[in-house]
Amino acid sequence: MAQTQDAVATAAVERTAIGLLADREHSRVELFRKLRLRQHATSLIEHVLDDLEGRGLLSDARFAVHYVARCLDKGLGPLRIRAELVARGVAEPLISTALTDAAPDWEQRLALVAQRKFGATPVEGACDHARRGRFLTQRGFPLGLVHRYFDRVRRTNQGKLC
């Protein structure tokens, strides 16, 4: 009788986990948290997640690749992407691999994000410069990269009449 209840509980956890994975990729930590919120037993969740990983249905590496691609589409920088993956329980080596494999030109990405947000209007004063810099750093671009971007924009706009 106890085995039957365990089998039923295991099947319920697996069904829920597979349903969540059908919607989108999840990290192991994310999936664990969601299953715990549904009041499933920790040991049962761990067993099901181990089984799903063994069957290739759950993969932190695959999740990291998909997540990086989604973040790049949103215009996020490497610092923000890394922080969000860490918060989702992805191991550092998997994060580094996913970012490296995506191989974006971060300077070009930053310029594209700035162009989308601010258009071609030149920076007007210190307050505007600070506002734009805050926006870009909050998106996850390193401060050094933001400074190089402003230097490049300043050199490009020198000699032009506004």
Q: What is the pLDDT, as a whole number, of residue 159?
A: 47
Rounded to a whole number of angstroms, the distance between the first and last alpha carbons of the chain is 81
Q: Tokens 């032009």 appear where?
A: 160
Same domain, 70 and 30: no
Give the pair of three-digit tokens for residue 16.
């829920």
- Would you say residue 45 lies in a domain? yes
How many whole angstroms separate alpha carbon 76 and alpha carbon 5?
A: 46
Q: What is the pLDDT, as a whole number, of residue 62?
A: 96
- Would you say residue 162 lies in a domain? no
- The domain tally of the chain equals 3
Q: What is the pLDDT, as a whole number, of residue 86?
A: 97
Give the pair of three-digit tokens for residue 139.
């998106």
**In whole numbers, what is the pLDDT of the chain averaged over residues?**
90
Of 22, 37, 58, which residue sits at a domain end?
Answer: 58
Nearest by Cα to 106 from 131, 76, 134, 135: 76
At 95-124, the pLDDT tens digits run: 999 999 988 899 999 999 999 999 888 888
Nearest by Cα to 100 from 113, 81, 74, 75: 81
How many whole angstroms separate alpha carbon 82 and alpha carbon 71?
A: 10
Same domain, 7 and 53: yes
Identify the CATH number of the domain in which residue 33 sits: 1.10.10.10
Q: Tokens 């920790």 appear where?
A: 42
- Would you say residue 130 lies in a domain? yes
How many whole angstroms separate alpha carbon 77 and alpha carbon 136?
A: 8
Instruction: Please give the residue range of the domain that contains residue 67.
Output: 61-102
Same domain, 121 and 79: no
At 13-61, the pLDDT tens digits run: 999 999 999 999 999 999 999 999 998 889 999 999 999 999 999 999 9
| Cα 47 off chain centre by | 26
Same domain, 144 and 111: yes
- Give residue 139's identity as a one-letter amino acid code: R
- Would you say residue 40 lies in a domain? yes
pTM over 0.85: no
Same domain, 6 and 49: yes
Same domain, 24 and 39: yes
Q: What is the pLDDT, as a whole number, of residue 28?
A: 96
- Would you say residue 9 lies in a domain? yes
Average pLDDT over residues 82-86: 97
Please determine, for residue 94, whether its predicted confidence score (pLDDT) is greater than 70: yes
